[in-house]
Chains A and B, each alone.
Chain A
């Protein structure tokens, strides 16, 4: 593969990583830890929002983030013809 092309692929990957990891950080560290008390003022069903995020919500977001990354990268691999054979 050409140098320029592989660099473009890598840059795109780094963009995806920074966006997804920012969400990862916001949900867990910012919402569930640093600002948990103000968020606890918001109630839904029997949960305080901050508490729910810390014990349930953040975990669902983590699962979603990985599957979104899988989807984005599979598409990117296809665009750059980097997808692999089934038996390398």
Chain B
């Protein structure tokens, strides 16, 4: 069977499974729609959170990025896992005890203010939309590369599938499809990684193979050989990196805190039955995520070694078959500047003749290593599972924000449950259409902005939630000012360097050497400082709010009921 036939088969089977699950777990109430009835098993919720969290970026792009930047790639590895420690220790148990539906629910009640709620809703919608557009694009790209379907057609197919299970099933449908999607994506990631580890180092565990000797009989350690190869072609040593320590520190912090502040992740912890379940569920989520995140750096190092060995400094006419097939669709480009017919892939930008799209490192890896067609097809199904699961989680946040936070809680309190459920479904449908539109006509800024969603989440939600739980005296005035200034500061810094004046975007002009990727950390510190200071000079929160804070700190005392 050909790669394409295998891909149609595996992708078709996985889609049938997702839709089957959605029909079986239809939502019947707003509780089902928003938080899956609040009785999801913690291990299942861990898997669903992992799938929700790991997007096309984790599955397709991350190993590729690390492969090109070596040690510097650690910012993503630590940043996107370390945030779960904050989530499990500082947020999830208390928000579960609070026990309503959304992040703006908490912000609105804790800060006794409709303004605070509306500010939080706007931040949530903004963060989620920037994120979801990237996912739909990812779906389109996988379709076009593996199934020969047009990118736009791919996006439409993705929209239809997400529409069916997000609109019908709500959180309940999404949760159980995400469990299935996690299984598909982790299997699809591990199989090629294990094959390649075996081929290159003879070790079946990629995490260990990464630190083993090469299987080519040279007796050299893989990472050592890779450092040498990198330097031989004029790149920085793989295990050293080039970013400044300050910048690595700030980017890692922004990604960690941003992870803990992302609404589609937080809301998953409302779906478990009790506080202790929320804690352990965060543990399972990180365990399932860590499986992929500890494999990714190994895949990155294998891919880099393979790439340098098989094409750098080789005559163009002798390039391997996979090289030509990716060159045909424009993801590898070769420009023979000195006309010697040799692929000069070197660190020096002027002399370098080869440009490689970072996304192909994971997608092309099975081909580069010469693995069987079904493994290549599996990677396509896995990439789709990763993109669809994240898109669905984000769409749910958008629809909940609209139907629950804006309509029911802010502007139209007389909404009945039945109407609210209808609004939520309409909003989910509309959000699918808008996300699909952005997937087909991606504005240039989308790709650039996705990475910044973390900075925005870090500088807006995180301080408001943490102080709301850990400091009873934090006031409405403090929190609202902190959120607005934090997100406005972060957004302006990013917009200035990325869009208004990109030529200034270099370490010489950044404040304290912090890049736009890391500025969310500074925004968060400003937010904390402002909120704390202003709270000292404004009237204390009312008594019932202070009691609410006491109440969410103690797990066993009358857990608030899900309606």
- Given the known inter-chain contacts A1-B554, A56-B297, A87-B273, please indicate yes or no for A17 contacting B89, CB distance below 8 A: yes
* B89-A21 in contact (CB<8A): yes
Nearest B residue (CB) for A9? B554
Do B224 and A62 touch (CB < 8 A)? no
B81-A59 in contact (CB<8A): yes
Q: How far is the CB of A82 from chain B (nearest CB, A)?
A: 4
- Contacting pair B89 A20 (CB below 8 A): yes
Query: Which residue of chain B has its CB nearest to the CB of A82?
Result: B556
Stretch from B136-144, B276-284, B417-425 contacting the other chain:
B276-284
Q: Is B373 an interface residue (CB 8 A)?
A: no
Among the 9-residue stretches B26-34, B70-78, B400-408, the one with 4 or more Cβ atoms under 8 Å from chain A is: B70-78
Q: Chain B 448-468 against A: per-residue CB contact (8 Å), 1 yes, 0 no?
A: 000000000000000000000
Q: How far is the CA of A62 from the CA of B561 in the complex (A)?
A: 31
Contact pattern, B 248-282, Cβ under 8 Å of A = 1, otherwise 0: 11001100100000000000000001111001101
Question: Chain B residues near A54 (CB, 8 Å)?
Answer: 71, 74, 77-78
State in angstroms the CA–CA spacing of A33 and B78 once bound together: 10
Task: Write out the residue numbers on chain B whose beta carbons fall within 8 Å of the beta carbon of A21.
Answer: 85, 89
A34–B249 touching, CB < 8 Å: yes
B290 within 8 A of A: yes
The reply to whether B282 and A66 form a contact with Cβ atoms under 8 Å apart is yes
Give the CA-CA distance A35 to B432 in the complex, in Å: 46
On whether the beta carbons of B212 and A74 are closer than 8 Å, the reply is no
* Contact (Cβ within 8 A) A59 B78: yes
Task: Determine the distance from Cα of A16 to Cα of B153 in the docked complex, in whole angstroms.
Answer: 52
Decide: A51 and B84 in contact? CB cutoff 8 A: no
Select B283's contact among A9, A45, A46, A70, beta carbons within 8 Å. A70
Residues 74-113 (chain B) with a chain A CB within 8 angstroms: 74, 77-78, 81-82, 84-85, 88-90, 93
Residues of A70-88 at the interface with B, using a CB-CB cut-off of 8 Å, are: 70, 73-74, 77, 80-84, 86-88
The answer on a CB contact under 8 Å between A70 and B275 is no
25 chain-A/chain-B pairs, Cβ below 8 angstroms: A29-B253, A32-B74, A33-B252, A46-B211, A46-B223, A47-B211, A47-B223, A56-B294, A56-B297, A59-B81, A59-B290, A62-B84, A66-B85, A67-B283, A70-B279, A70-B280, A70-B283, A81-B556, A82-B554, A82-B557, A84-B276, A84-B555, A87-B273, A88-B274, A88-B558
Interface centre among A13, A62, A74, A88 (most CB of B within 10 A): A62
Q: Which of A28, A40, A69, A82 contacts B279 (CB 8 A)?
A: A69
Q: Residues of A contacting B213 with CB < 8 Å?
A: 46
Cα distance A13–B286 when bound, in Å? 21
Report which of B211, B293, B550 forms a contact with A52, defined as CB distance below 8 A.
B211
- Beta-carbon contact of A73 and B77 below 8 Å: no
CB closest residue in chain A, given B42: A70
Q: A33-B252, A52-B211 are in contact. List 15 more A-B contacts (CB 8 A).
A: A33-B248, A45-B221, A46-B212, A55-B77, A59-B81, A59-B294, A62-B85, A63-B283, A63-B286, A66-B84, A66-B85, A66-B282, A69-B89, A70-B88, A73-B279
Docked pose: A62 CA to B74 CA in angstroms: 14
B14 to A: closest C-beta gap in Å: 27
Interface residue SS majority, chain A: helix
CA distance A58 to B245 in the complex (A): 17
Given A51-B71, A58-B78, A59-B290, A66–B276 Cβ distance below 8 Å?
A: no
Interface-centre pick from B74, B253, B558 (highest chain A CB count, 10 A)? B74
User: Measured between alpha carbons, how far is A69 from B554 in the docked complex, in Å?
Assistant: 16
Q: Does B391 contact A (CB under 8 A)?
A: no
For B227, give the chain A residue with the smallest CB separation.
A48
Contact across chains for B555 and A82 when beta carbons are under 8 A apart:
yes
Contact of B561 among A1, A6, A88 (CB under 8 A): A88
Taking CB atoms, residues of chain B closer than 8 Å to A33 are: 74, 245, 248-249, 252
- Among the listed A66, A82, A84, which residue makes an inter-chain contact with B89, where contact means beta carbons less than 8 Å apart? A66
Check: B207 CB closer than 8 A to any chain A CB. Answer: yes
A22 to chain B, nearest CB (A): 12
Q: Per-residue CB proximity of B140-177 to A under 8 Å, as 1/0?
A: 00000000000000000000000000000000000000
Query: In the bound complex, what is the Cα–Cα distance between A10 and B551 (angstroms)?
Result: 11
CA–CA, A52 to B224, complex, Å?
A: 13
Contacts of B212 in A (CB 8 A): 45-46
Output the residue of A55, A60, A69, A87 with the most chain B CB within 10 A.
Answer: A55
Inter-chain contact B554/A6, CB cutoff 8 Å: yes
B306, CB-defined interface residue at 8 Å: no
Contacts of A48 in B (CB 8 A): 223, 239
In the complex, which residues of chain B have a beta carbon less than 8 angstroms from the beta carbon of A17?
Answer: 89-90
A58 vs B274: C-alpha distance when bound (angstroms): 29
| CB-defined contacts of B415 to chain A, threshold 8 Å | none
Task: Check if A28 sits within 8 Å of B224, measured CB to CB.
Answer: no
Closest to A76 in B: B555
- Measured in the bound complex, the distance between the Cα atoms of B280 and A28 in whole Å is 22
Among B78, B286, B553, point to the contact of A10 (Cβ < 8 A). B553
Which residues does chain B contribute within 8 Å of A58, judged by CB atoms?
77-78, 81-82
Closest 7 CB pairs of A and B: A46-B221, A82-B556, A54-B74, A88-B559, A66-B283, A46-B211, A55-B297
